[in-house]
């Protein structure tokens, strides 16, 4: 079964205005999927991604979502319901990609409760409650992909909370897969390695980037499209028996 053409499918991608999320949205649209993408602080970026998809013959809508504010989720889900009806004449969608997140750059000794709570709210609590609240809209046999991180497997200084929360998200992935198996909804996590994007405050200097590249079997940092293309390919019935898995896309870091 070849599902390269996904014209009957709709995907919701959080944090789809830049970096990996933008790449996932664009690659999903190239495969024919309808796309609902979210942004938080920069509506211009979100609208620009939606416009790029539309200009290339696809269908996309950008919506605001602050996934760390649980109280706003009800209103967001109402917006999704309205958009599905208006743009696609549907009451459900097929794929959810939990990509939105914030980075950490503090040593354990310098991590305040405020920093800790913000990281938890966006990177874990937000994923849990958005998925819990929106899963009734996901079509039977659909799929959820949680974007994790290679930092759930290996450790670097300054990202202890972030990496630990990504490990928790991988555990949560299996629990959602277990509890929603009756609806044939598959839930997997994709764990990028070191990706050359602006996430977390910049790409770093060239010496640091080269150092990271030497830790990877393929000898380079990843690009956003390395992840975006893979996630888009996973969002199909070609992966219909892949469930409750952690899939690392890191070029072979620390092997």
Q: Residues near 114 by Cβ (< 8 Å), separated by ≥ 6? A: none
**List 39, 162, 175, 180, catalytic entry:** 162
- C-alpha distance from residue 121 to each of 81, 116, 133, 178 (Å): 24, 9, 15, 23
By DSSP bridging, strand 60-64 and strand 34-39 are parallel
Tell me the C-alpha distance between 121 and 237, whole Å.
32
Q: What is the Cα–Cα distance from 200 to 156, expressed in whole angstroms?
A: 14
Longest dimension (CA), the chain: 52
- 180 in active site: no
Helix (H, G, I), strand (E, B) or coil at 141: strand
Q: Is 182 helix (H, G, I), strand (E, B) or coil?
A: helix
Rounded Cα distance, 146 and 75, in Å = 22
Compute the distance between CA of residue 178 and CA of residue 43 in angstroms, rounded to an integer.
36
- The CA-atom distances, in angstroms, between 21 and each of 36, 141, 199, 226, 239 are 11, 23, 11, 12, 20
Q: Hey, which residues are catalytic here?
A: 162
């Amino acid at each position: 079964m070849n599902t390269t053409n996904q014209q009957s499918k709709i995907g919701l991608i959080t944090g789809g205005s830049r970096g990996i999320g933008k790449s996932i949205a664009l690659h999903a649209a190239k495969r024919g999927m309808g796309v609902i993408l979210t942004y938080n602080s920069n509506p211009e970026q979100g609208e620009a991604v939606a416009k790029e998809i539309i200009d290339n013959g696809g269908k996309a809508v950008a919506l605001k979502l602050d996934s760390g504010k649980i109280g706003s989720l009800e209103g967001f889900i109402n917006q999704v319901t309205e958009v599905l009806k208006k743009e696609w004449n549907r009451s459900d969608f097929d794929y959810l990609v939990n990509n939105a997140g914030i980075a950490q750059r503090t040593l354990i000794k310098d991590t305040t409760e405020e920093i800790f709570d913000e990281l938890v709210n966006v990177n874990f609590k937000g994923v849990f409650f958005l998925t819990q609240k929106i899963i009734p809209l996901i079509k039977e046999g659909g799929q959820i992909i949680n974007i994790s991180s290679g930092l759930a497997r290996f450790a670097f200084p300054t990202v202890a909370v972030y990496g630990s929360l990504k490990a928790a998200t991988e555990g949560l992935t299996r629990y959602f897969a277990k509890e929603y198996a009756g609806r044939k909804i598959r839930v997997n996590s994709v764990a990028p390695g070191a990706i050359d994007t602006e996430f977390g405050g910049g790409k770093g200097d060239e010496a640091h980037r080269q150092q990271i590249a030497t830790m990877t079997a393929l000898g380079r940092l990843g690009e956003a499209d390395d992840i975006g293309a893979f996630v888009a390919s996973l969002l199909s019935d070609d992966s219909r028996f892949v469930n409750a898995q952690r899939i690392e896309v890191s070029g072979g870091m620390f092997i």
